[in-house]
Chains A and B, each alone.
Chain A
Amino acid sequence: MLAAIGSDSMEGLLVDIPKALRIPRLELPDGLSEFETMAQVSALAARNKVFADRLTFRGGGVYRRFIPAAVAAVTSKPEFYTAYTPYQPEASQGTLQAIYEFQTLIAELTALDVANASLYDGATAVAEAAMMAHIHTGRNEVMVAGYVHPEYMDVLRAFSEARGIKVRKGSEPNAKTAALIFQQPDFLGLLVDAQDLTRRAHAAGALAIACVDPISLAILAPPGDYGADIAVGEGQQLGLSLSYGGPHVGFIACRKDLVRRLPGRLIGSSHDAEGRRGFVLTLTAREQHIRREKATSNICTNHSLCALAASVYMTYMGAEGMRQVAEVSFKRAHALADRLAALPGWDLAFPERPFLNEFPIRVPNGAVVNRKLARKGILGGLDVHRWFRELKGVLTFTCTEVNDPRAIDELVEAVSQ
């Protein structure tokens, strides 16, 4: 090949690099065979403690659920996972149609007009929605009501600070408020009065942004029904593994009149000269590669493969399957809550507030409780005092369809000892 190029050595191709910059070698160990590589990587994996599905009672935004085998069978197809961003639509119809179906599924689930092709995660979805509200209303503050996921709050603050937007806590929006943001169910698992919060936002001329749990929407009123302007959320529960927090998938849906403010990719239906239907990336003039410094957002990626997993999950389960999953989780969580609250010194932190499948409970000593549980191979509740000073001694426990009744017995027995 060098001869064809007309160079006598590789050095001849690197002439533009100043000599002073050349390094003698890359200071890393030499490469390994696949067998040795996997042995080394597997050894690291083995140093982690994996809790059984049925014995995981910790949530906090990432949940263990049943993942149909069909999901991995689809996402591990190399035609999907090794494809590029669908910039050449004729050669990318598989990805494009799958995302178009994802957009439709999310729009149906949230009962809003349009959803995008996905975002990085729930946290950045909240932040992007806040930026949309800021641009749409021309107002420079966003207000966050109640217990929104603390890490979403951190990301929202980082995004907002960069754009000179103030983040306030509260549920009394005013003429400076671009959006009122709430989470349903909230970070502790409690249900909020989404209707009332939406009404308050609109009364102040602000947008209502609902951060929602996608499984819950099989049984809970969807944001479109109570009039929220933007719905966002984390899609991990739709067929994605925990994976130490990522990659997962953020989603965002909105009312028709906000579509041009949506960040990220959008797929639309189209047709070719012969009238065959196809799908294309559209409204791209909003995006960074054309608008450059005037773009709505700098996001260039969507989490396509994770969105594909979510689509397979929703298509496989259907509305009926998702409803069953939500109901089973609800009943088991309530059964667990009843039994834990009956223990001496254990009290529901907000006994008057309804919840779905995650709930906060005040315990005598959270660290001791979780140590006892860990000894039995159980991943216990999440200590939320770490984020909220007023919640000293409060753990949140979660139940899903994978926590069978016997697992609940085991948990209660372990903490009773």
Chain B
Amino acid sequence: MTEPLSFEKSRPNVHAPRLPDAGVPGAEPRDLLPNELLRSEPPALPRLSEPEVMRHYSKLASMNYSISEQFYPLGSCTMKYNPVANEVAATLPGFASLHPYQDEDTVQGALELMWRLEQALCAVVGVDRVTLQPAAGAHGEWTALRMINAFHHSRGEARTEVLVPDSAHGTNPASAALSGFRVVEVASGLDGRISLADLESKLSSRVAALMLTNPNTLGLFERDILDIAELVHNTGAMLYYDGANLNAFMGVCRPGDMGFDAVHMNLHKTFTTPHGGGGPGAGPVGVKADLVPFLPTPTVERANGHLTLDFKRPQSIGRVRSFYGNFGMLVRAYTYIVAMGGDGLTQASMDAVLGANYLMKRVEGLLDVPHSGPCMHEFVASARNLAPHGIKALDVAKGLLERDFYAPTIYFPLVVPEAIMVEPTETESKPTLDAFADAIADIVKEAEENPEKLHHEPHSLPVGRLDEVATARAINAYLTGQSEDPILRWKPVPKEAC
């Protein structure tokens, strides 16, 4: 069942909700403002009563899969369960009702929370300071690269290149390019581990940084990380850590000890702030001492139990977001860290590794698993063994949706054909992992016996597979003036004159 748009349900005679009268004397805007500043036609927003609004969005909610109802084994996305207490904490009036321009004396609790969160993140990743300002992981990457650029500049060096492995997340090269760097790819071997020989050949005095994630996108730990760090540092470049895979080793080892100079973290992955259907997240960046002078302003400082915001940082790269970042997300992550503690976070990573290895064992024999042997918190399988039946990774993904599981990440990393990247996370129980493996077994059986049926799944969801090509072409038709339908928004159909 699909749901009409709010615009289509709109009824012209619905009244606006009751609002207060002004209760003060004085003229209306139209009497005081020049006519050319005023709107001539009201915007065509829908008119619905409160029950209609509530039913509309309840219906939409029922058309979503979510971590509260389904298992989300999305590789590299760390879809953990989001504890309800986090939500309660963020909506406490003492946090939710603070104005960002209140005086420091009136927000000591908020600043203390930010300071403590910074300390905790420093401890987890092994760095000296953390900025909480970036709104998302990609924003954090960009912020870190701006700091690295400022660092080289401060030493009179103009380094213009950033090295990125060919297996990296797409945000890495995009962030590097938007920070003003030229992107140079470094080859990785078949196991996704970086090729030391290729790295050496690309390193030079032009290189500002190497961006790396560890474990790599195949879920394998970069065993040579200490050698990599030495190579990079010997040429005066810096080592940047993409924190997407931090959930693999909290309390076991730390990026800072591996030689990383800047580290971004995704609070919406590792620290359980909800994904919200695509945001808001938060992407704090931790740095070693060399980069501290370049942190965005303001930083939170603490002296004699009193907290202040420090805006006077002459070498700072400036401000990357308004105010102090996604504060509500910081409250959630802090709440999670307090509840888990050092022991709990360590256990979480252990359980994540255990679950991934167990699930990998169960999936082996059903799908190709190109890199057997222990994985970290995620593993990559391949649907290429189903190719003789005309079945692709996409079909496996859609088959999983039909069986009430969200689909793993597919077609990434690019180094594995028909890749299916699975990250179960520590919050999933053995029965859930078994049920998922059983669903894969069922899909493989269907692929062998009735591939045509699989091609048409899912069929018990509100819609079946959607024609994305037709959508893109229809937008093209609109943009080139061949069609009136914008596709990217609802547009009323003009009434025929009768």
CA distance A133 to B222 in the complex (A): 41
Please indicate the chain A residues that have their CB under 8 angstroms from the CB of B98 in the complex. Answer: 48, 50, 242-244
Binds A, one of B199-207, B233-241, B337-345: B337-345
CA distance A322 to B490 in the complex (A): 21
How far in angstroms is the closest Cβ of chain B from A317? 7
**B window 21-50: CB within 8 A of A:** 21-30, 32-34, 36-40, 42-48, 50
Contact B2–A276 (Cβ < 8 Å): yes
Contact partner of B171 (CB less than 8 A), chosen from A109, A288, A304, is: A288
How far in angstroms is the closest Cβ of chain A from B75? 12
Contact A354–B252 (Cβ < 8 Å): no
Contact partner of A97 (CB less than 8 A), chosen from B5, B20, B26, B488, is: B5
Please indicate the chain A residues that have their CB under 8 angstroms from the CB of B85 in the complex. Answer: 34, 37-38
How far in angstroms is the closest Cβ of chain B from A345? 23
Instruction: For A195, give the chain B residue with the smallest CB separation.
Output: B36
A22 interface hit (Cβ, 8 Å):
yes
Contact partner of A37 (CB less than 8 A), chosen from B56, B101, B280, B335, is: B335
How far in angstroms is the closest Cβ of chain B from A188? 14
Known: A93-B60, A244-B327. Is A122-B322 also a contact (CB below 8 A)?
Answer: yes
CA distance A241 to B335 in the complex (A): 19
Known: A23-B252, A100-B489. Is A10-B353 also a contact (CB below 8 A)?
Answer: yes
Contact B488–A114 (Cβ < 8 Å): yes
CA distance A116 to B473 in the complex (A): 18
Contact B180–A162 (Cβ < 8 Å): yes
How far in angstroms is the closest Cβ of chain B from A322? 7
B498 interface hit (Cβ, 8 Å):
no
Contact B322–A121 (Cβ < 8 Å): yes
How far in angstroms is the closest Cβ of chain B from A332? 6
Contact A330–B19 (Cβ < 8 Å): no
Known: A77-B58, A305-B280. Is A157-B318 also a contact (CB below 8 A)?
Answer: yes
Contact A94–B60 (Cβ < 8 Å): yes
Please indicate the chain A residues that have their CB under 8 angstroms from the CB of B354 in the complex. Answer: 1-2, 5, 10, 13
A88 interface hit (Cβ, 8 Å):
yes
Binds B, one of A169-177, A200-208, A220-228: A220-228
CA distance A109 to B53 in the complex (A): 19
Interface string of A240-254 (1 = CB under 8 A from B): 011111110100000
B63 interface hit (Cβ, 8 Å):
yes
Contact partner of B468 (CB less than 8 A), chosen from A195, A282, A297, is: A282
Contact A241–B462 (Cβ < 8 Å): no
Binds B, one of A66-74, A137-145, A358-366: A66-74
Contact partner of B277 (CB less than 8 A), chosen from A62, A80, A220, is: A80
A219 interface hit (Cβ, 8 Å):
yes
Contact partner of A7 (CB less than 8 A), chosen from B139, B335, B357, B467, is: B357
Contact B253–A22 (Cβ < 8 Å): yes
Contact A305–B279 (Cβ < 8 Å): yes
Please indicate the chain B residues that have their CB under 8 angstroms from the CB of A225 in the complex. Answer: 39-40
Contact B3–A245 (Cβ < 8 Å): no
B393 interface hit (Cβ, 8 Å):
no
Please indicate the chain B residues that have their CB under 8 angstroms from the CB of A321 in the complex. Answer: 16-17, 19
Known: A48-B107, A81-B274, A162-B179. Is A104-B21 also a contact (CB below 8 A)?
Answer: no
How far in angstroms is the closest Cβ of chain A from B445? 21
Instruction: For A73, give the chain B residue with the smallest CB separation.
Output: B54
CA distance A2 to B475 in the complex (A): 52
Please indicate the chain A residues that have their CB under 8 angstroms from the CB of B280 in the complex. Answer: 120, 246-247, 249, 301, 303-306
CA distance A265 to B206 in the complex (A): 34
CA distance A308 to B376 in the complex (A): 36
A351 interface hit (Cβ, 8 Å):
no
CA distance A28 to B338 in the complex (A): 9
Contact B38–A220 (Cβ < 8 Å): yes
A343 interface hit (Cβ, 8 Å):
no
Greatest chain B CB density within 10 A among A6, A46, A92, A109 is at: A92
Known: A26-B251, A32-B341, A292-B173. Is A158-B318 also a contact (CB below 8 A)?
Answer: yes
Greatest chain B CB density within 10 A among A4, A51, A191, A245 is at: A245
Contact partner of A221 (CB less than 8 A), chosen from B36, B258, B471, B486, is: B36
Known: A37-B85, A81-B274, A221-B37. Is A101-B257 also a contact (CB below 8 A)?
Answer: no
Contact partner of B357 (CB less than 8 A), chosen from A13, A66, A301, is: A13
A78 interface hit (Cβ, 8 Å):
yes
Instruction: For B56, give the chain A residue with the smallest CB separation.
Output: A315
How far in angstroms is the closest Cβ of chain B from A140? 13
Please indicate the chain A residues that have their CB under 8 angstroms from the CB of B179 in the complex. Answer: 162
**B window 465-494: CB within 8 A of A:** 465-468, 470-472, 474-475, 478-479, 486-490
Contact partner of A85 (CB less than 8 A), chosen from B277, B468, B479, is: B277
Please indicate the chain A residues that have their CB under 8 angstroms from the CB of B190 in the complex. Answer: none
Contact A84–B7 (Cβ < 8 Å): no
CA distance A56 to B112 in the complex (A): 23
Contact A164–B180 (Cβ < 8 Å): yes
Contact A86–B277 (Cβ < 8 Å): yes
A-B contact count (CB 8 A): 650
B365 interface hit (Cβ, 8 Å):
no
Contact B53–A312 (Cβ < 8 Å): yes
Contact A22–B252 (Cβ < 8 Å): yes
Contact B338–A246 (Cβ < 8 Å): no
CA distance A15 to B334 in the complex (A): 31
Please indicate the chain A residues that have their CB under 8 angstroms from the CB of B340 in the complex. Answer: 31
Contact B252–A14 (Cβ < 8 Å): yes
Please indicate the chain B residues that have their CB under 8 angstroms from the CB of A70 in the complex. Answer: 50, 53-54
Please indicate the chain B residues that have their CB under 8 angstroms from the CB of A46 in the complex. Answer: 94, 109
**A window 151-202: CB within 8 A of B:** 151-152, 154-155, 157-158, 161-164, 191, 194-195
Contact B46–A318 (Cβ < 8 Å): yes
CA distance A45 to B404 in the complex (A): 39
Contact A115–B489 (Cβ < 8 Å): yes
Contact A318–B341 (Cβ < 8 Å): no
CA distance A89 to B65 in the complex (A): 10
Contact A298–B276 (Cβ < 8 Å): no
Contact partner of A108 (CB less than 8 A), chosen from B44, B173, B358, B362, is: B44
Contact B323–A244 (Cβ < 8 Å): yes
CA distance A45 to B108 in the complex (A): 9
B304 interface hit (Cβ, 8 Å):
no
How far in angstroms is the closest Cβ of chain A from B21? 7
Known: A29-B341, A335-B26. Is A85-B19 also a contact (CB below 8 A)?
Answer: no
Contact B223–A16 (Cβ < 8 Å): yes
Known: A218-B43, A269-B471, A277-B2. Is A21-B258 also a contact (CB below 8 A)?
Answer: yes
Interface string of B222-244 (1 = CB under 8 A from A): 01011000000000000000000
**A window 318-336: CB within 8 A of B:** 318-328, 330-332, 334-335
Contact B278–A304 (Cβ < 8 Å): yes
Contact A17–B489 (Cβ < 8 Å): no
Known: A277-B2, A280-B468, A288-B174. Is A334-B357 also a contact (CB below 8 A)?
Answer: no
Beyond contacts A43-B109, A88-B406: 20 other A-B pairs, Cβ-Cβ < 8 A, are A21-B258, A25-B251, A31-B344, A48-B108, A78-B69, A82-B66, A104-B7, A120-B136, A124-B321, A219-B30, A244-B324, A246-B325, A272-B466, A278-B466, A282-B475, A294-B177, A304-B279, A306-B276, A312-B57, A334-B27
A–B pairs, 8, beta carbons within 8 Å: A44-B112, A95-B277, A155-B321, A221-B36, A221-B39, A244-B110, A246-B326, A315-B53
Name the 6 nearest CB pairs between A and B, nearest first.
Answer: A245-B323, A45-B94, A47-B109, A31-B341, A305-B276, A245-B100
